[in-house]
Amino acid sequence: MSTTATFPAPSAPVTLPDPNTPRKPLTKGDLTAERPTWCPGCGDFTVLALYLKLLEKRQLPQESFCSISGIGCSSRFPYFVQAYGAHFIHGRSLPFASGISLSRPDLHVFVFGGDGDLLSIGGNHFTHTSRKNIKITCVIMDNCVYGLTKKQTSPTSPIGFKSKTDVTGSIDQPINPVKQAIAAGATYVARASSTNPNHLLQLLEGAVDHDGFSVIECLSECVAFYPGAFDAANPRKGGAFNLIPADHDVANEVAAYKLADAAFPGYFGLFYQSKRPTKNRLEAELNQRSQEKFQGLKDWQILKKSFEKMQ
Ligand SMILES: Cc1ncc(C[n+]2csc(CCOP(=O)(O)OP(=O)(O)O)c2C)c(N)n1
Ligand code: SF4
Ligand SMILES: [Mg+2]
């Protein structure tokens, strides 16, 4: 028996397209990967369709963005986008996306996930990504239930919601994602519904143009385990889709927080936006200052200097 290991031939180096060469315009078809495996009628279809529309409208080349998610029905999202992306550990999409954003400032990093993934198991990461203001667009596809695991109470389920984990109805105060995001320090905070696609597209465009952590809570109905959850926000079902009053000052954090406190179905639109510096910028400046300080020195000399400082 031969003991010599055989290795596959090295793959060809990746060559990125020359940015100066004119490219064929990207279409929704080019950006569509697999057929989504969601239940017919699931609100997540609209969120995906609008994302593809956004990419097509902005003509974002496939190598200039990535779509990251955790685990859940909504988190299947990256499978359905023909571009770079990852379906990561449950609740950990934001730290993974933060690493990408900080190391590749040239990319636009999108995170898609559910109310459970981003606000329950991933709630701590949501808080810290918000306060660090890392340049990421995060879309919370909120159906107020754990859909993938077939109906458990989620952190946004209303009091009284009956599920496999609360058979007599939930007794816990739900999280208000908009209030949570504002309080934690996110710098673009909006609310949309998959039943109003044009409005969602507008908010996605604003998020892409924003330099910082942009959060959109998008109501996205789970027709299998919480049908009718958002009828009160849907004029076609007798509800009301109330836009944020035109005189609201998005720079006023307290006013935004108060507006977000309105009883369900509440308001829709951009609640809050600020120009606080991103961690991306602050960290890049810090790196540059350190590099200038040690200019001309070899790595071992920098290390030696650091050790000397510690003595
Ligand atoms: C560590 C870990 N805990 C629990 C699970 C089971 N699990 C998978 S998805 C999910 C919740 C999904 O809910 P949500 O994020 O709201 O997504 P949806 O399916 O509603 O879109 C849970 C509890 C898991 N996969 N990994
Ligand atoms: S279970 Fe609910 S959230 Fe999951 S695909 Fe079906 S309708 Fe959508
Ligand atoms: Mg959910």
Instruction: Kindly report, residue by residue over 61-83, the tens digit of the pLDDT.
Output: 999 999 999 999 999 999 999 99
Lowest mean pLDDT among 20-24, 66-70, 102-106: 20-24
Residues 82-94: pLDDT tens digits? 999 999 999 999 9
Portion of the chain with pLDDT greater than 90, in percent: 85
pTM passes above 0.85: yes
| pLDDT band with cut points at 50, 70 and 90 for residue 212 | very high
- CA distance linking residue 54 with residue 208, whole number of Å: 9
- The SS3 call for residue 301 is helix
Query: For the chain, which residues make up each domain, given as ranges?
Result: 28-276, 277-311
CB of residue 115 inside a 6 A radius of ligand 1: yes
Per-residue pLDDT, averaged over 166-185, amounts to 98
Cα of 162 vs centre of ligand 2, distance in Å, is 17
- 3 pLDDT higher than 70: no
Cα of 30 vs centre of ligand 3, distance in Å, is 28
CB of residue 140 inside a 6 A radius of ligand 1: no
Residues 116-135: pLDDT tens digits? 999 999 999 999 999 999 99
Per-residue pLDDT, averaged over 169-191, amounts to 98
Cα of 37 vs centre of ligand 1, distance in Å, is 16
199 compared with 12, residue with greater pLDDT: 199
The ligand 1 atom at the shortest distance from the C-alpha of residue 141 is: 21
Query: What is the reported pLDDT for 12?
Result: 59
Are 232 and 219 a contacting pair, CB within 8 Å?
no
- 4 pLDDT higher than 60: no
Measured from CB, residues less than 6 Å from any atom of ligand 2 are: 38-39, 42, 44, 73, 143, 147-148, 222-225
> In this structure, what is the dihedral angle of CA atoms 230, 231, 236, 241, given to the nearest 10 degrees?
-60
What is the DSSP pairing of strand 267-273 with strand 242-243?
Answer: parallel
CB of residue 130 inside a 6 A radius of ligand 1: no
Query: What is the reported pLDDT for 1?
Result: 44
| pLDDT band with cut points at 50, 70 and 90 for residue 23 | confident
Query: What is the reported pLDDT for 291?
Result: 85
- The SS3 call for residue 215 is strand
- Give the CA distances from residue 63 to residues 52, 108, 258, in Å, rounded to whole numbers and listed in that order: 15, 10, 40
What residue's CA is closest to ligand 1, atom 24? 90
Query: What is the reported pLDDT for 311?
Result: 85
CB of residue 185 inside a 6 A radius of ligand 1: no
Query: What is the reported pLDDT for 306?
Result: 87
How many helices (H) and strands (E) are present in the chain, helices listed first?
10, 8
Per-residue pLDDT, averaged over 181-196, amounts to 98
Query: What is the reported pLDDT for 18?
Result: 73
- 17 pLDDT higher than 70: no
Per-residue pLDDT, averaged over 23-33, amounts to 91
| pLDDT band with cut points at 50, 70 and 90 for residue 10 | low
Mean pLDDT computed over every residue of the chain = 94
What is the DSSP pairing of strand 188-193 with strand 267-273?
Answer: antiparallel
Residues 28-276: name the CATH superfamily: Thiamin diphosphate (ThDP)-binding fold, Pyr/PP domains (3.40.50.970)
